[in-house]
Amino acid sequence: MTTVITPDTGQDTPHTPPPGAREDDGAHTRRFGLPVATALVMGNIIGGGIFLLPASVAPYGTISLVAFAVLTAGALALALVFGRLAERHPRTGGPYVYAREAFGDFAGFLSAWSYWITAWVSNAALAVAAVGYLDVLLPLRDSVAATIAAALLLQWLPALANLAGTRYVGAVQLVATVLKFVPLLLVAVGGLFFFDADNLGPFQSGGSGTLGALSASAAILLFSYLGVESAAVSAGEVRDPRRNVGRATVLGTLGAAVLYLLGTVAVFGTVAHDRLVDSSAPFSDAVDAMFGGTWGGAAVACMALVSMVGALNGWTLLSAQTPYAAARDGLFPRAFTRRRRGVPTVGVLVTVVLASLLTVYNYTAGSDGVFETLVLVTTFTATVPYLLSTAAQIYFLLSGQRDRVRGPRLVRDGVLAALAFGFSLWLVAGSGYAAVYQGVLFLFAGVLVYAWRAARRDREDHAAA
């Protein structure tokens, strides 16, 4: 039983779709094609991190570029695994669906719960970071109230776009991706013409050794690749998902990887290493070095805002899709199943409210350290569904369920799944002890919710019998 908008009254009315029909077909519901699905993946991977990463990893030397290459290989392995899983289960929910099909309700719930935490905490982080760039254009730091209002506005505008319907989500995502991809690529490519090898600095800085520097820089870069699963999570809204989800996932990940690598190399080669280490706006410094003047800060601030609004738009949709899929199976509160114009409205509203409360807390309590810890927690919580999804793929391959893969394809899929599983474990290790500790507490809180929902579902089943 679902809820749709009837064209004559505009009111919510019960509706059960006929067999084979798609839920929530309506004027404001439209399936994503390959371009929009690819934009969703790229938009969610490329948030605000691209504008900060070069300075963040500069202290470790150019070995961070090697870490980028390793992370890219792992992200592509994950992308290919999600594409294969979407062929088996082309349903909204992505990692939740795969974990539940392979290992049962509890594993599915843990995947959905972890992914949901990742989404709304990431939204709060993106909004706070976006305010920092907005401050370059409209000084806000002197007024706490104005800063909070701007952060909340940056969260609620994408939420309103989502509530308007999936056709508007896709339009916003496609426009935002184009507007941020083109100028960033121009800076990245343009920087190659001003590249000076003398600016690169040492290959490995610090006394932690090559492996230590590689792991340390990788830990900073881990958050940058969250979002490779975006098309799989929204598979139910993708046209021909068995074909397009895998393609969109790989294309989106490759596009983001190229932009990340080109941008980082360009900044490394245009800004002197000593200056880059202390930079708070590395892309601004790169533009100033390339063309002279001080207008780079405002230009990069505009690009960063477009990038973050696009990422907030996509993550808001994803944050609603996973609890919707879990609630439809009785693992989340039933209210999360309400859909209007193709969008799970309760999921969108609850997510934006939680992210807003976290944002207000961050500004009013002055808890920068706590907030940074929570951002690191998102890296850990995201790896829970990654690990369960890759384990599900291994299970499907070994058990022979859902398909009859044989020969070279079985070996290829098995190797990719093993690499993706190992990459996910590396993500956990890179999160740090504090983040893993905090993340486990979040998971245990979810166990209580699962116990409540499971008990209630059992009572309803007994009553029906």
**Average pLDDT of the chain to the nearest whole number:** 76
The per-residue pLDDT for 269 is 87
Burial of 402 (0-12, 13-18, 19+ CB in 10 A): middle
- Taking the C-alpha atoms of residue 132 and residue 26, their distance in angstroms, rounded to an integer, is 39
- Provide the whole-model pTM: 0.75
What are the pLDDT digits (tens) for 285-319?
A: 888 888 776 666 677 778 778 777 777 877 787 78
Q: State yes or no: pLDDT of 6 exceeds 80.
A: no
CA-to-CA dists, residue 250 to 41, 65, 175, 308, 349, angstroms = 9, 21, 20, 22, 30
Share of the chain above pLDDT 70, in %: 79
C-beta separation of 371 from 81 below 8 A:
no
How many Å is the Cα radius of gyration of the chain? 22
| Sequence-ordered alpha helix ranges (H) in 138-165 | 144-163
For the chain, which domains are there?
Answer: 27-453 (1.20.1740.10)
Mean pLDDT of all residues in 73-85? 86
Q: State yes or no: pLDDT of 362 exceeds 60.
A: yes
What are the pLDDT digits (tens) for 164-177?
A: 765 656 666 666 66
The per-residue pLDDT for 47 is 66
* pLDDT interval class at 15 (50, 70, 90): very low
Burial of 341 (0-12, 13-18, 19+ CB in 10 A): buried
* pLDDT interval class at 73 (50, 70, 90): confident
Tokens standing for residue 49: 């991190």
Q: State yes or no: pLDDT of 260 exceeds 60.
A: yes
* pLDDT interval class at 56 (50, 70, 90): confident
Q: State yes or no: pLDDT of 455 exceeds 90.
A: no
- CA-nearest of 286, 244, 459, 339 to 24 is 339
- Taking the C-alpha atoms of residue 30 and residue 131, their distance in angstroms, rounded to an integer, is 32
The per-residue pLDDT for 392 is 92
- Taking the C-alpha atoms of residue 219 and residue 332, their distance in angstroms, rounded to an integer, is 32
The per-residue pLDDT for 66 is 86
* pLDDT interval class at 183 (50, 70, 90): low
The pairing of beta strand 339-340 with beta strand 12-15: unpaired
Q: State yes or no: pLDDT of 415 exceeds 80.
A: yes
Q: Is the model more confident about 221 or about 43? A: 221
Unique residue bearing structure tokens 């200056």? 275
What are the pLDDT digits (tens) for 220-248?
A: 777 777 777 777 776 666 777 777 777 88
Tell me how crowded residue 144 is: count the other CB atoms within 10 A of its CB: 12
Q: State yes or no: pLDDT of 18 exceeds 70.
A: no
Q: Is the model more confident about 349 or about 134? A: 349
